Structure 1
């Protein structure tokens, strides 16, 4: 009927300034780090110094004797609150504090509580522990057959629908063995003109959000409130309630602004520990990690990828992939990375015969979990380097080889799911055009040699997952949006408000977004995997439509004829005789999904949408030092219809530059399980002098028909092609192929020297 409002200019497609920008730049934004409550105790953690060992004894007497120490707590004390104090999204394998055994250097073993954080920090240094050291395993490939077993028994969590099949392999380090079989790979290899085989490795890296992890638990009367820097408040509530054996309504989780996450702050990190401590001492307890401590809490999977391809008449006819994921001491969400990313290992190519084995492996490194890209950058690094090597061996232009093999709209990906609304070809051609690929290229002179490279990748959205939203329209016509999606800098608050504005016909700036508070905001699985725009965006649109339908029904009930120019304020006033009343719309969204066949790994509906991204670079290599300088970087993505083009552009730059750091220099370095560069002084992230001289970002024309107003997620897409594009450009410039990241000046220089004999 649509009698209710004159429509303002369309809200979707506007580059609306971020709604929270003024709060942040003026220092008024609220963060958990700034939160202090009466009676609060600060916590400092005593951590393991050995990578693998049985706990013989823990001596806390000296720490307890320090003036000002309130209490020292060990794993056995935690059992008084939670008899089975283990948590995790895939397996219940991680203890709140170490019990019986430690599995990595830096694992929490005991904590000190004090009213003064400096007293707690002093006292924790006085705790000592004795261990019976066990043989450790650090490498993901060695973990498959290692005598050292990190976990003797595994307890599947059964939390998520896509992980309910988990069992693990007893007395091994295999948490998940995912397989996919399509066609006949052996026959394809036998009939091929050529078969190509390579191995690629990636290193372990850190998320390094500038706001370190922090949680504060406040006990109440048969209740608990947790203020936390988390990307998954709904999961935190569910998991803490499960641990305590409580109903969900006794646990409240509040998330204000988040100072970066990138996957580090997903699922349970500090929340279980502060919850148990608060209930043990019946006082509020706060734990704030240092940057160094974050290196021992969660990281990005190191990986080894063995890839073998058959080619006949310039077409890839078969591909066999083996991927080994280094999950560290605890599974976290590694099994999902192994499966969801693993099935894209053949790349964005039309290959009839595919065999994939993807393994999630325990080692005695710090745990690995979700990090921007969710395993896809590790895979694209390998398959796009492999693609370039094949093209060069066959003396085919790398772009032409990709064009000959690209997976086009409507064709089935390796899982058997058709590629729909996936502009792979458009992304490739956009980068090619912007780089003037067919024109002559300046190769440099003397010791400075120039090269260029290109790479594309794709990612499936995590599914099935649920999002719920509430839209409240007030008596004056303004609106609030209640949702548990966490805005950690990606601009989701603004984008979701734009969807409400577009649907209700109001200005985005008149929509207030209520930050996650599980007593107030409805369920959302988590803010991860670029799922929010699509999943929560659809839920928000449905909630706004529900509110709009009720407003239209109200107009009809008041006898207003169609076409009457009445806004919500006028409708409420006409009904109640004053400014009063509310209209509440609710929307819930979960996409269709079909679980992969256990025998083959195949499914014709494995994801609700595909993310597509590619990168082209022009570089300069100093052959006397191995230093690589990025002269130009071109990023292109298919994100459907951009809800907020300016936010999308900043997302592309941020993603590409983050991956640039992982590509060129970031690396967690180890000495017998001890991270030796766990600080910003030694672990280098990109600075202003590391940025490319030119960065160009482009959104190809596309639409995700099932997305809210044609949109889908984009936060990870520009990470996909960066690493292989740079490696391909180095090969193009100086003729050497690096197969292990990071691509440091030393690695480049050594490869050049080895080439020269």
Structure 2
């Protein structure tokens, strides 16, 4: 009842507001770590491995050290003098700061040159001579799962996060995590099925491409060390650096500024450990800044192979589904095991299926590491299960929307894990997507040369849990308000939204609230800015902190004899209490959602996630039947984000996610040769979408929904717009010319080849 009251009476929330920092950014006054210069600062340049798998026989750094202007040349032997166990990682402590004894992929950091001049440091890296004894390598995730070529001799679980406590140390395997779901009797479902469909779908390895490359700067202080870094997870960085140095957290300070994009690339530890180790060795500030090319060798999105087998009855109901997903984690696990589990249990799709079998494997290979990427593995899965939904509907002669509606999970029904679906507007998103596409109205199929087709796709995502967020609200005697939180604003306007949440409770103007940027000496703990968790987790923490401040004002007002019902103003109360402009009222709030770890054998849990994010996409394409070239004519994106706290920001988040997924669906692909060498690590050869690649028409909408356990009815939205994009494009191409694509990225030449191989005049689909 209280939440409904909040829904009806919100003052600030639900209004469209621009980003409060916009003027600062466009005027060039916004702070970014790239602009930081410290006295006596050294620049670091990294020498990277040229082989995918090999033992390091020797490193000759004499010529590099002799180059004028070089301060020092650092290898892992030097690192271990300040960090005896120089391995980091959120799931496994498997990644060395610099290669120790062996390299595991082309591009792995092997040595570093320090100089006051970055150009001299870069030149010196070419003078380092490294000799390798090459070893056999594995690159394909399915082959690596069974291969006797082992990337890591031993796996050492980090044990940091409660949802990854189950990770076990293993030897002689490339499987970092295997997660399973078992519901009902899948084999019986297949035996009794009227139809069986079995397909395999592939996604490729891509890069996050934040336009601000990664950067970290280390600085020694009287009390310890400060890390200035473009990070999405400053609290975790402090924890991990303190562990590596064997120091208390109080000696490690981590501060951020605005981020020029992140998308998961700047999570956990990336450059920070190296910057700290180099700073400790040099006893001077050290700046480690990557080029755009170097980001390709640092963190990527998982390539996947997804085999999906479905049993369907004559009415078109899915009665059983078996899913096997292999995630190409690259050389180091990063947070891949969490992706494998949290996304793995959604592999059957947003459908009510009585009999489910899921096997989800995180696999080491000798490629650049893969980790969190916008969508957190969901886009790879939606691509497969929604593509198969279209294939099944076409084979059965059913309308694709009606097939989905028939099978869709409803409110109050259990997901395959046993968690009851609550406040998940799946049907509403599907129906609204169809309505925006005018699905049931006559459709112009184009001409014989330029054929048109349509497709839809719907996906869902579980919120990462259990994770913790803490916030603090400080009210001053002049009426000022400060919001302390470690959520990182990387373009998603979190500072604006959280100011609105605090203002809603405090009854003040959001623009009168100053947000203190993440700084572990000043702002309280937040697990990380990832997985669309901030609106839900930090939104609750900020709400609770503001409510705590209000309660403390009420107590102070009662002590001072302020008549009940009189408006509470912190400034007046504090001046009356202290006789001058002095003192503070501090409210603190922390939040962690309910969560029950899944059963190891069945994957079942009564509370596997606190909420579900829903995204639907409708696409219209035009295909040239002579060349196979196609273009997106129209795209409609619909999401369920509960209550849209700031509709203007929701719209930009949805369109941004959709555009990013257009890149993965059609253009982006890290191309490796047979030796694991990356061929296209530059924007000259690696294409992301430009303005001319976008549809002529692009609409976005959030359905009318309410998340009952969310802050003011809200939940995250930063990824939902990406879910159904790829499968909807594939469905539209098939609807236009009858060509079904099963691998991403979807290429013009593949369509052309299939068209001419089947029938130069193509079959008349959709007549």
**If the length of structure 2 is used for normalisation, what is the TM-score?**
0.97
Q: Match of 1:208, SS?
A: coil
Q: Which moved more, 1:564-573 or 1:393-402?
A: 564-573
1:257-276: CA deviation from partner (whole Å, max 9, x where unpaired) = 11100000000000000111
Unaligned regions of 5+ residues in structure 1, if any? 1-7
| Separation (CA, whole Å) in 2 of partners of 1:661 and 1:265 | 20
Matching residue of 2:318: 316
Query: Do the aligned partners of 2:658 and 2:721 also contact (CA within 8 Å) in 1?
Result: yes
Matching residue of 1:628: 630
Shift of 1:47: 0.3
Q: Match of 2:24, SS?
A: helix
Q: Which of these residues, 475, 478, 501, is aligned with residue 477 of structure 2?
A: 475
Give the number of aligned pairs: 750
Shift of 1:9: 8.1
Matching residue of 1:614: 616
Q: Match of 2:157, SS?
A: coil
Q: Match of 2:385, SS?
A: helix
1:250 and 2:251 matched: yes
1:133-192: CA deviation from partner (whole Å, max 9, x where unpaired) = 001100001101112110010100000000011115420110001111011001111111
Q: Which moved more, 1:743-752 or 1:79-88?
A: 743-752
| Separation (CA, whole Å) in 1 of partners of 2:589 and 2:115 | 45
Matching residue of 1:595: 597
Matching residue of 1:428: 430
| Separation (CA, whole Å) in 2 of partners of 1:626 and 1:508 | 51
Query: Do the aligned partners of 1:736 and 1:755 also contact (CA within 8 Å) in 2?
Result: no
Matching residue of 2:732: 729
Unaligned regions of 5+ residues in structure 2, if any? 1-8, 761-767
Matching residue of 2:83: 82
| Separation (CA, whole Å) in 1 of partners of 2:478 and 2:383 | 53
1:676-703: CA deviation from partner (whole Å, max 9, x where unpaired) = 1100110000001101101100010001
1:92 and 2:73 matched: no
Query: Do the aligned partners of 1:232 and 1:527 also contact (CA within 8 Å) in 2?
Result: yes
1:316-336: CA deviation from partner (whole Å, max 9, x where unpaired) = 000000000000000000000
Shift of 1:578: 2.5
Q: Match of 1:422, SS?
A: coil
Query: Do the aligned partners of 2:156 and 2:170 also contact (CA within 8 Å) in 1?
Result: no
| Separation (CA, whole Å) in 2 of partners of 1:577 and 1:81 | 53
Runs of 4+ in 1 over 4 A off after TM superposition: none
Matching residue of 1:745: 748
Q: Match of 2:72, SS?
A: strand
Q: Match of 1:344, SS?
A: coil
| Separation (CA, whole Å) in 1 of partners of 2:27 and 2:308 | 51
Matching residue of 2:172: 171
Shift of 1:17: 1.6
Matching residue of 1:5: none
Which residues of 2 match residues 208-219 of structure 1 at below 5 A? Answer: 208-219=209-220
Shift of 1:635: 0.3
| Separation (CA, whole Å) in 1 of partners of 2:103 and 2:175 | 19
| Separation (CA, whole Å) in 1 of partners of 2:61 and 2:16 | 56
Query: Do the aligned partners of 2:570 and 2:585 also contact (CA within 8 Å) in 1?
Result: no
Q: Which of these residues, 710, 715, 724, is aligned with residue 712 of structure 1?
A: 715
**If the length of structure 1 is used for normalisation, what is the TM-score?**
0.98
1:236 and 2:237 matched: yes
Shift of 1:522: 0.3
| Separation (CA, whole Å) in 1 of partners of 2:566 and 2:110 | 68
| Separation (CA, whole Å) in 2 of partners of 1:566 and 1:84 | 54
1:153 and 2:154 matched: yes
Matching residue of 2:375: 373
Matching residue of 2:764: none
Shift of 1:556: 1.3
Q: Match of 2:20, SS?
A: coil
Which residues of 2 match residues 246-325 of structure 1 at below 5 A? Answer: 246-312=247-313, 313-325=315-327
Matching residue of 1:699: 702
Q: Match of 1:574, SS?
A: helix
1:677 and 2:680 matched: yes
Query: Do the aligned partners of 1:651 and 1:714 also contact (CA within 8 Å) in 2?
Result: yes
Shift of 1:375: 0.3
| Separation (CA, whole Å) in 2 of partners of 1:747 and 1:489 | 36
| Separation (CA, whole Å) in 1 of partners of 2:466 and 2:128 | 45
Which residues of 2 match residues 381-396 of structure 1 at below 5 A? Answer: 381-396=383-398
1:387-433: CA deviation from partner (whole Å, max 9, x where unpaired) = 01001111111111111100011111111001101100100010111
| Separation (CA, whole Å) in 2 of partners of 1:400 and 1:545 | 46
| Separation (CA, whole Å) in 2 of partners of 1:419 and 1:513 | 35
Shift of 1:749: 1.3
Matching residue of 2:19: 18
Shift of 1:314: 1.3
CA RMSD of aligned residues (A): 1.0
Matching residue of 1:3: none
